[in-house]
Amino acid sequence: MSMERSRQQILYQFLPGNTFDYSDKRGIWKVTRLETTDASGQVDRQYIADRVFARAKNWEGGDEGFTTNSPDNYDFAEPDEVRAEPFPTTFSCRVCGKAHEYYSADDLNEQNKTLTCERSGCNGDLEQYQFVSVHSCGEITRLYTGSCPNHGDQHIKLDDQNSQRAQNFLWRCDVGSCNWSTQVSYRQQCGCDYVPPSANDADDDSMYTTVHRAGSTYYPHYLTTVNLNTADIGHLRGSESGSQRALAKLLDLTDSRLQSVDLDESLEGAEIDDDRKIEVYQTVDGVESLDEAEAWLREQGEIDSQTIGELLRELIVLEAGEESDEMTDAGDELLQYVLSLEDLTTHSLDDLRENALSSGFPQKADKIDTYSHVLERLGIDAVRVIEDFPVQTFVYGYTRGGREEDEAMLNAFSQNASSGDGTPIFVDMSETEATQFDLDPAEVLLWLAVNLPATSDPTAVRGPVTLPDVPANPDEAAIDRARAEIESLTRAEQRSFLLNHLDPVDGYGRFDTKTDDDVEGQVTKYVFELMHTLSHILLKQASTISGFDRTNLSEFLFPRALSMVIYTNNREEFNIGGMTTMVEQQLDNLLGQAHAHGNDCMMDPVCSQRGGACLSCLHVSEISCSYFNQVLSRDYLYGSRPNTDREIRGFWEL
């Protein structure tokens, strides 16, 4: 049987191997495969294959099915239709309670298509047991019934012993005074020898039985990226040259468009006398062009300006080359960020204000004009509306029993699970409305200086820029002095400090650092958790004040650019123009409510004592969060509360 769902629903709820409750009371089913359309021509196949393969091979719990990073080995597939079959195939009679089991859906169809009780004289309707057993290797099974040594399997019933815990369930013989029974768990064995790293021994990782819809039975694994192919800049991804161009744009070193950035271009302010270059060209041996004349004058010290490339090499100390991905990792993220500024249909607050004026709405323009005060107060540098944010989601595998890499094996989808050839990577591509929030780098640096004393130590930081030395428990005067010192830095110097100290964060909220005690680890943790926390608060408030369904909103973070994007993920149900209306008419309300109520949690003080993030305050749907609600804490925005083991000065406290 087949069923149709939206592509977004399929990617999060109806993937191969997952179970679901079929509509119209047709029981429980398991997805066997997806009918798909080839999407390989619309994505950067090598980039995605590299990312997926790297995640799989770095997965501590091991992987199954990821054999190569060759894109030819993968089927990049857009889901169109879901195919499924009844599962689990263990039933009970509604009348007499007798347990019935069938080897497979085909076996069920052949032996008992009408789903009626096979006990003589009963003929009651059968219903599925809602329980399944799963193992961390990725296996999922139905319940296997027991057999009484005296009466066989004709009188076996499931006895839950008035418990909701499957470990207490028994298979029991229902014949008269027969007291035979056995625990359900004894029958549920995987038969593999896989033991995840988190298990102390094999006995700690036996199969466990739970309801089929429990979240632990199936965790999809996916990555989200911005589609650079839409702007024809995908070829810059993964190259040092592309990374340097993106860095030059972020540091405001050039007004040229990304593709036209010339790293040998002299920075503005350099005075180059054309007559002097001509004189050198005509009189100095070995100088055969005006460009060589300029280079000669620079070598002689007559031109003291720098090129873009020279300043980048002075400020940025990211490692590059075959031995390190540090530069290209940063460049990939920043290429996506620059795309959001240059090639998308983007409207700044100034653009929205001018549009309101030109359209004859001066009151709307006046309201937009007041937003700058709110942004400055909250440390936000810019807000933009994007009409066509080109987001791509790739689902490449799943785990059972745990999402963390020490809890389970990462499994690729079966090659039979899609219409194409190769191991499936399921793709969703869309251009959707979004709102982008950029933090002020000067305010972020001030906050880091207050919280992390090591950022002022020249021997501990990377690169030429250090932050001010701020005393413990600084008064307002000390903070003002530190702010003035940071604001004396150029924007390029401010951003270079962040770039030199921000390490990659993968899709599970883990920081790629050797130790959390060094400056890089500390800065990465603070900046990322600040941004991720603020992103969740903005997402939840956007839903509250504007009427968006919270599950229809998702986040995308550019940590190195201090930028957060809240975008709509449901094209079928979202009202076009909703993001623009929210920013034009309610941005002050959105930010005001975020500031006033983002620290509210009905689970306090317990939540604050346990990290400052829970379902009541910061957690959102896993459809909405790229990092599975990891690395969040209200402390980073509002400061640590008393009686906790942390002493963090909040970003919004300064």
DSSP H helices in 173-256: 184-187, 240-250
Kindly tell me the sign of the dihedral angle through the C-alpha atoms of 296, 297, 299, 300: positive
Asked if the structure places residue 143 within a domain, the reply is no
pTM score: 0.84
Which pLDDT value is given to residue 552?
85
pLDDT over threshold 80, residue 647? yes
Asked if the structure places residue 599 within a domain, the reply is yes
What burial letters (b/e) apply to 91-119, b meaning 16+ CB within 10 Å?
bbbeeebbbbbbeebeebeeebeebebeb
Which pLDDT value is given to residue 496?
97
pLDDT tens per residue, range 259-291: 999 998 888 655 566 788 888 888 999 889 888
pLDDT over threshold 70, residue 629? yes
Give residue 571's Cα distance to chain centre.
19
Q: Kindly give, in sequence order, each residue whose CB lies less than 8 Å from that of residue 624, ignoring residues fewer than 6 positions away.
A: 539, 550, 551, 553, 554, 555, 569
pLDDT tens per residue, range 213-266: 998 999 999 888 988 876 677 778 878 889 999 999 999 999 999 999 999 888
Asked if the structure places residue 157 within a domain, the reply is no
Better-predicted residue by pLDDT, 108 or 572: 108
Asked if the structure places residue 331 within a domain, the reply is no
| Residue 592 domain boundaries | 502-653
**Mean pLDDT of all residues belonging to the chain:** 89
Around Cβ 639, how many Cβ atoms within 10 Å? 18
pLDDT tens per residue, range 352-384: 999 999 999 999 999 999 999 999 999 999 999
Which pLDDT value is given to residue 602?
95
Mean pLDDT for 150-156 is 89
Asked if the structure places residue 566 within a domain, the reply is yes
Among the ranges given (44-58, 571-585, 639-653), the one the predictor scored with the smallest mean pLDDT: 571-585
Better-predicted residue by pLDDT, 293 or 425: 425
pLDDT over threshold 70, residue 5? no
Asked if the structure places residue 148 within a domain, the reply is no
Treating both helix axes as pointing N-terminal to C-terminal, what angle do 308-315 and 240-250 enclose, rounded to 10 degrees?
90
Mean pLDDT for 558-571 is 89
Asked if the structure places residue 558 within a domain, the reply is yes
Mean pLDDT for 395-408 is 91
pLDDT over threshold 70, residue 512? no
Establish how many alpha carbons lie within 13 A of residue 429's alpha carbon, considering only the half-sphere containing its beta carbon: 18
User: Beta strands 2-3 and 208-211: pairing type?
Assistant: unpaired
Establish how many alpha carbons lie within 13 A of residue 131's alpha carbon, considering only the half-sphere containing its beta carbon: 22
Question: Model confidence at 91, in pLDDT bands (50, 70, 90)?
Answer: very high
Mean pLDDT for 531-557 is 89
Of 82, 78, 3, 19, residue with least CA distance to 400: 19
pLDDT tens per residue, range 173-212: 998 889 899 988 766 778 888 989 988 776 666 888 899 9
Which pLDDT value is given to residue 515?
47
What tokens does 14 get?
A: 């109806």
Q: Kindly give, in sequence order, each residue whose CB lies less than 8 Å from that of residue 47, ignoring residues fewer than 6 positions away.
A: 234, 237, 238
Which pLDDT value is given to residue 140?
94
Question: Model confidence at 107, in pLDDT bands (50, 70, 90)?
Answer: very high
Mean pLDDT for 102-116 is 94
Q: Kindly give, in sequence order, each residue whose CB lies less than 8 Å from that of residue 291, ignoring residues fewer than 6 positions away.
A: none
- Count: domains in the chain: 1
Of 307, 405, 345, 388, residue with least CA distance to 56: 405
Around Cβ 297, how many Cβ atoms within 10 Å? 20
Asked if the structure places residue 613 within a domain, the reply is yes
Among the ranges given (44-48, 123-127, 182-186, 356-360), the one the predictor scored with the smallest mean pLDDT: 182-186
Angle at 441 between CA 566 and CA 327, to 5 degrees: 85
Mean pLDDT for 600-624 is 93
Which pLDDT value is given to residue 58?
85
